[in-house]
Amino acid sequence: MFDRLKSTGKSTISTLSHLLFGRKMNTDHDPVLPSDRQPVSVYAEKLVILSKSMGTKTLQSYKVTQADRLKSDKLSKHESMRVHVRDPKHQKSYIIFERAGGEPTHHVSSPELLQPSRNASKVSISSASDSCSPNLKAQDVVFPMQDEKLRRGDEIVGTLTFNDDRLPSLYEVAHLADIVHNASPSYLLFTNNCSHFVDTILLVLTEMCSPHTQMGKSAGKFYGLDLKSGCQADIQSLCTRVKEAVNVSVRSFIHAN
């Protein structure tokens, strides 16, 4: 009879995880970490759900010790961000955040947190180039790496190393990625692109945590052209939104308990 109860309990957990997370979850997998490729908005929402049962203090114990800016050696020169995560047991995990172009959209957004660059020549070049490219939805995703080994073709072109007394949490980084996505939900070839997504996140983390920064000459550039500055984010406003998102979760947890 005890075996039947154990089996029923596991089945119930599997069913609940399927309802909450949209799939059957491996019970050995840490629920705080992403188990597969998914939109950053979905992952951020999962963490909000977890915060209501685990509390944000537990979630914030998953610390990001380093953020790497990656660039592909393919023709696209695609950029992404890999974060090194240290869990409460001091085990390490590696997670990728990146942007790509998704489905076409006829809507042209003017996000309030994105400001035109003061460099008029770069704006005109970027605007002209963007006008020739399709307007797509930004597909911003997060997914785990099996180990520290880079994907084939990727190289590290920049690194933020955080001090022990100012380590951002994975919870904060995930919310930041979601906030950046909502601030610039359209993908444009030369402005709201993969480099812009990564660059904005790294700039906010730099402002919030004052890490040791090493950035190579090719970071944020497309065949030598620095076009990422065609659209610059209001870093202070983004920092404020990250803090607000965390505070809302803290208040929700306290109210629920």
Task: For residue range 26-38, list pLDDT tens digits in order.
Answer: 447 899 999 999 9
Which domain range does residue 157 map to?
34-256
Does one domain contain both 208 and 245? yes
Spell out, as residue ranges, where the chain has pLDDT lower than 70.
1-27, 106-134, 220, 222-233, 246-257
Does one domain contain both 15 and 102? no
Does one domain contain both 15 and 142? no
| Number of structural domains in the chain | 2
Does one domain contain both 11 and 114? no
For the CA atoms of 143, 148, 154, 156, what is the dihedral angle to 10 degrees?
110
Does one domain contain both 144 and 38? yes
What's residue 256's pLDDT? Answer: 47
Does one domain contain both 18 and 116? no
Name the 3-class secondary structure at 58: helix
Does one domain contain both 7 and 118? no
Does one domain contain both 135 and 14? no
What's residue 246's pLDDT? Answer: 67
Does one domain contain both 22 and 42? no
* Cα–Cα distance measured from residue 43 to residue 98, given in angstroms and rounded to the nearest whole number: 13
* Cα–Cα distance measured from residue 155 to residue 230, given in angstroms and rounded to the nearest whole number: 24
What's residue 167's pLDDT? Answer: 96
